[in-house]
Amino acid sequence: MIKSFKAIFALPLVASLAFAGEAKSDKDLKKVIEDQGIYVETSQKGIVLSGYADAGYTYNFNSGNNAVGQRFGNDGGVAQQQQGDFNLNAFKLALEKPLSDKNELTAGFRADLMVGEDASFLRGNGNGVAADGLSELYMHQAFVQFRAPVGNGIDFKVGKFATPAGYEVAERPANLNYSYGLLWQNAQPLSHTGILASYALNDLVTFEAGLANNDWNQADGTNINGTAGKSDMALIASVNIKSKGGNANIKNTFIGNPDGGRNITVNGSGQQANSGEAFLWDMWGNWAPKFANDKLLLGFNTDLGFHNDYAQSVNTRQQNFNETWYGVALYAKYQFSKVFSLAGRGEYIHNADNAKFGNTGTVVTGQNTALTSTDLWAYTVTAGFNIYENMLLRAEYRFDAGTEVQNNGNNPEDTVAQMVSLNVVYSF
């Protein structure tokens, strides 16, 4: 990458010096480039720059706040736009000094920076997109990594890193579908700030364990934050098991907080919620059947979570609920040719008391409010076209349905939403 930049910036100078008769040697050229402040080289070799540009058009058939996709189904970076809207989803840059392949003491780093409507949505923890959709930067990851040559080698990440949970990731081009799924937005963390250790027992089994700040979920609208004045940690543990043939794997991740309290605002004044344990069990897997000659990919993702004494502002009062949610997603992709592929996703998620999704319920008896449960479904079909080197075109249709979904502050109701999207991505 560095050599490429040198070549690009050096071309005009080479031409001008050649005409002037001054380009006498490579050393002379290098000196001139350095004098012009163009010649730049990092102090560390092996640093890799990568990223992508992601843009498109989305048409939401259910514009308005009563659409399922406005609050839950699709994602804030797209579904919260107007009925028809062009989107600059993201321009992302990732800079990394990866660890070597040898089992030795080695160190590096990684930083992922994103700008665009996805960045605004992710930075806002699911609370919406800035007016222009482009005014905020989002640091998805930034960590130091190093390897301790103990046993087969223990790899550490210290800083902010992507969660080990979930089949989908924040980078849309890496997912089978264009839009984010129900589980990704409503049931799983996005990232953690802390320390994560990874150890490969052998070629088939890898363990991860870590401690992170008590930010239970930075991806969805949960916003469970560490209680003021406390330093409780979230515990992270996962195990990934691969098949002997390397064409399948299954990963289980457990995330638990001994104190998942959060702050809420009631009647315009901040009040501290009671604390309670928060827990998530996430499981996902991949399978590429050998009989399909690497053309078929099947996947799944399940989540089970609960949060005791979950704080919710209901009818201008602070109330606490023992909240439970669970969901499942199934994925499939078939590569018909080098150019064309088709991917599908079916999802279901259940929220027991609706407190997690922000609904305020409809039944009030004295000082107690009963919240009704919410069930959400989504079905997505995505066609992919690899028409040019590093460029991907995608066309997607999505259908969402939900029971007892919040309707712009009014009583929850059953509703549906539909969306079509066209997407173009260039990766580098």
Instruction: Report the alpha-carbon distance of residue 94 to residue 162 in Å, rounded.
Output: 13
Q: Check residues 367 and 234 and name the one with the higher pLDDT.
A: 234
Tell me what the mean pLDDT of segment 275-284 comes to. Answer: 84
Provide the 10 A C-beta neighbour count for residue 123. 18
Q: Tokens 């089992």 — which residue?
A: 103
Tell me what the mean pLDDT of segment 320-349 comes to. Answer: 91
Question: Over the chain, what is the mean pLDDT?
Answer: 75
Q: Count how many residues are written for the chain.
A: 428
Given pLDDT bands bounded at 50, 70 and 90, which one contains residue 376? confident
At a CB cut-off of 8 Å and minimum separation 6, what does 13 contact? 29, 32, 33, 36, 38
Which percentage of the chain shows pLDDT scores above 70?
A: 63
- The torsion of the CA quartet 66, 71, 74, 80, rounded to 10 degrees, works out to 80
Q: Check residues 409 and 428 and name the one with the higher pLDDT.
A: 428
Residue 91 has pLDDT above 80, yes or no: yes
Least confident of 92-96, 119-123, 161-165, 378-382: 119-123
Res 217: pLDDT: 46
Structure token digits, residue 232: 């409780």
Structure token digits, residue 7: 């070549």
Give me the phi and psi of 32, to 5 degrees please: -60, -45
- Complete DSSP assignment for 149-186: -STT-EEEEEEEEE-S--SS-S-GGGSSSSSPPHHHHH
Res 372: pLDDT: 65
Instruction: Report the alpha-carbon distance of residue 217 to residue 236 in Å, rounded.
Output: 13
Least confident of 218-227, 241-250, 294-303, 309-318: 218-227
Residue 98 has pLDDT above 70, yes or no: yes
Asked whether 233 and 214 are in contact (CB, 8 A), the reply is: yes
Instruction: Report the alpha-carbon distance of residue 238 to residue 281 in Å, rounded.
Output: 10
Region of 390 (left: φ > 0; alpha: ψ -120 to 50; beta: rest) is left
Region of 409 (left: φ > 0; alpha: ψ -120 to 50; beta: rest) is left
Given pLDDT bands bounded at 50, 70 and 90, which one contains residue 343? very high
Asked whether 251 and 283 are in contact (CB, 8 A), the reply is: yes
Bridge partner list, 257: 278
CA distances from 367 to 256, 316, 401 (A): 31, 11, 32
* Domain segments of the chain as ranges: 1-41, 42-427
Tell me what the mean pLDDT of segment 96-109 comes to. Answer: 94
CATH topology of domain 42-427: Porin (2.40.160)
Given pLDDT bands bounded at 50, 70 and 90, which one contains residue 87? confident
Given pLDDT bands bounded at 50, 70 and 90, which one contains residue 300? very high
Residue 31 has pLDDT above 70, yes or no: no
Q: Check residues 168 and 133 and name the one with the higher pLDDT.
A: 168
Res 265: pLDDT: 45
Instruction: Report the alpha-carbon distance of residue 78 to residue 58 in Å, rounded.
Output: 7
Given pLDDT bands bounded at 50, 70 and 90, which one contains residue 321? low
Tell me what the mean pLDDT of segment 343-358 comes to. Answer: 79
Q: pLDDT tens digits, residue range 43-70? A: 567 899 999 999 999 888 875 444 444 3
